[in-house]
A and B are shown apart, each in its own frame.
Chain A
């Protein structure tokens, strides 16, 4: 892999020169390194670009790294990765993406990840996105995550995009069987003229299934964000979504949450708040000796932590 990829990997997947466990590194649409483990098999898809990852039932405490990097303009990378998580497995999936562009043509990564969790499986899914480079060409990342969860499975999705991505369209869908639980934590910051859209569509099919979706975002400069969520309760279930956004300078955010309940015991809640940093928060930190600018940075840093 090239130096740019190494640098991006350090940010998006905690790369320290090597990965411990199963991994596949994708660089500019090509495989730059792969390793399976005894319990986690990574294979190329036969019908198109992408991977099939099988986690053996009962696998505990292992990590699989599936990062992807685009290192120059003129690349439009599309990849389909399918994760099959065996019954009662408990694993960490790290799937960051970095796009670097020093050129005038667009650089894009579009990763379509499908998760199939068997009964009792547990996954912590970490997804970190970043854009770097000084070229005029746009840096785009358009992730799609489709999640199918069997009975009593659990998936926690920790997704972060902090800087440098000019345009992103993030789409997550999930269907939950009985007793399954999905937790999503999204943190997003846009600056300059960046644009970001997040769509979440979660269907709570099974009895006692549950979802907790929390999105925190900061829109700075003249950047724009859109947040759309739909929780569909089709059984006795619980769903909570929360969209908190901070506006700075001339940033703008549109939040469109929706709830659909088709069962009398579907308990669905949505909370949304959009606004500038509260003046009293800045004031409190200034009474501790921080300047206004330091206080604002600290508040945003904590908000997106």
Chain B
């Protein structure tokens, strides 16, 4: 084999490898970014449903206040949690914390109403509100699960080959799962 031929083959090999690397980096990076954006979008879904839940609180308080005499404590707690929520700066762990505290208070209130205030429990407005709140709770659950699915898909892509190489090079970091979902 002549020298020129060998050089030619080597150059050709380098070109093929170079193109392969470029294509792999582009597709992997784009896939990772798309997965990350999807997860972030899912995160906003959780936020939207949380807002919906918070917006229902004044209605609930209003209805329950007119009927009940002894649930003042729970109502105050719920109102306070709502105020806390509105003053948050969007820290996920605080949000989750307040949301679960709210759930505890809601449960206390709902059980108390079911046991002690049959008129209120049978009231159409209360029933509707109860359905809205449980429905919102379901939306939050589904949004959280979707978010965790999306984050897992992104993290998997990021940690597997070749995502681990390109992800590290472009400074992509794993996202955190929503705990307790």
**A and B co-occur in one complex:** no
- Measured CB to CB, the residues of B under 8 A from A are none
